[in-house]
Amino acid sequence: MQVSDAVAQRKSVRAFSDKPVSSELIKTLLTKSARAPSGGNLQPWRLYVINGDSMNRFQEHLNTPTKGTPESPAYDIYPQSLSEPYRSSRYKVGEDMYALLNIPREDKAGRFKQLKENYKFFGAPAAFFCFVDRQMGPPQWSDLGMFLQTFMLLAQANSLSTCAQEVWATKPRTVSDFVGAPDELMLFCGMAIGYENTDAAINSLVSDRADLDQFATFL
Ligand SMILES: Cc1cc2nc3c(=O)[nH]c(=O)nc-3n(C[C@H](O)[C@H](O)[C@H](O)COP(=O)(O)O)c2cc1C
């Protein structure tokens, strides 16, 4: 597959089939993804992969009531007061998604139910969690993005679908306890991995993109 085709065809898939994903394939894709660039070649991504049986065990772990103080993200998933045009962009993709599912704004329960699908990885049989050492800053976080997109494109080229999921940042202790991540690692996001359920309406969502002149200035 041409890189340009993988870029064009990749999308966030939010309903997966139960077709298993080969761990060998995930290993191969992760190994290749590590060719992603990183400042100073730090390669700051730290991953924990769950697949099949470990995914089932993770789902059980998730449903076990947690003790102690409630969990909160270790970083702000969005700026506390998101300005325009970012605010409208975020709103629009959410509304477009709920429109496809026929879940109106007033149907809070319906929207919450859909939101909770995140915590099932949308039915994906495989996933990974992406962590970064707490000493790292914005430059290394951008390196994580390079790695994640490289993985998503390689997955696309191998008929796999993905959804990056920041929502997992809301459960840092639950995830870290399960995977055994040391304290110095901070959870950034999850990545659902599987085969697309092509019958699911939600997967027909085509997210907008701003026009070139809105984000690039040519001098
Ligand atoms: C780092 C990152 C985290 C994301 N977290 C979530 C998430 O928690 N739940 C979700 O449904 N989509 C999540 N997304 C998907 C975005 O909403 C999606 O990439 C965006 O709307 C553009 O759509 P597309 O990926 O289909 O092109 C995330 C994407 C990225 C890059």
pLDDT in tens, 137-179: 999 999 999 999 999 999 999 999 999 999 999 999 999 999 9
Neighbours of 209 (CB within 10 A): 9
Q: What is the CATH number of the domain that holds 60?
A: 3.40.109.10
In a domain, 218, yes or no: no
* pTM of the full structure: 0.97
Question: Which residues constitute the domain of residue 129?
Answer: 3-68+119-202
The count of domains in the chain is 1
Q: How far is the CA of 6 from the centre of ligand 1 (A)?
A: 17
- Cα angle vertex 192, ends 189, 194, to 5°? 165
In a domain, 52, yes or no: yes
pLDDT-derived band of residue 68, with 50, 70 and 90 as boundaries? confident
pLDDT tens per residue across span 76-131: 999 999 999 999 999 999 999 999 999 999 999 999 999 999 999 999 999 999 99
In a domain, 39, yes or no: yes
In a domain, 11, yes or no: yes
pLDDT for residue 15 is more than 80? yes
How high is the pLDDT of residue 133? 98
Ligand 1 neighbours by CB, cut-off 6 Å: 11-12, 14, 93, 118, 163-167, 189, 207
How high is the pLDDT of residue 66? 77
How high is the pLDDT of residue 7? 98
In a domain, 168, yes or no: yes
pLDDT for residue 69 is more than 90? no
How high is the pLDDT of residue 117? 98
The SS3 of residue 55 is helix
* 97 Cβ contact partners less than 8 Å away, ≥ 6 residues apart: 14, 114, 202, 205
In a domain, 86, yes or no: no
| Percentage of the chain lying above the pLDDT 90 cut | 96
132, 165, 202, best to mutate for ligand 1 pocket (most atoms within 8 Å of CB): 165
In a domain, 123, yes or no: yes
In a domain, 179, yes or no: yes
> Average per-residue pLDDT in the chain?
97
How high is the pLDDT of residue 46? 98
Classify the C-alpha dihedral 3-218-140-59 as positive or negative.
negative
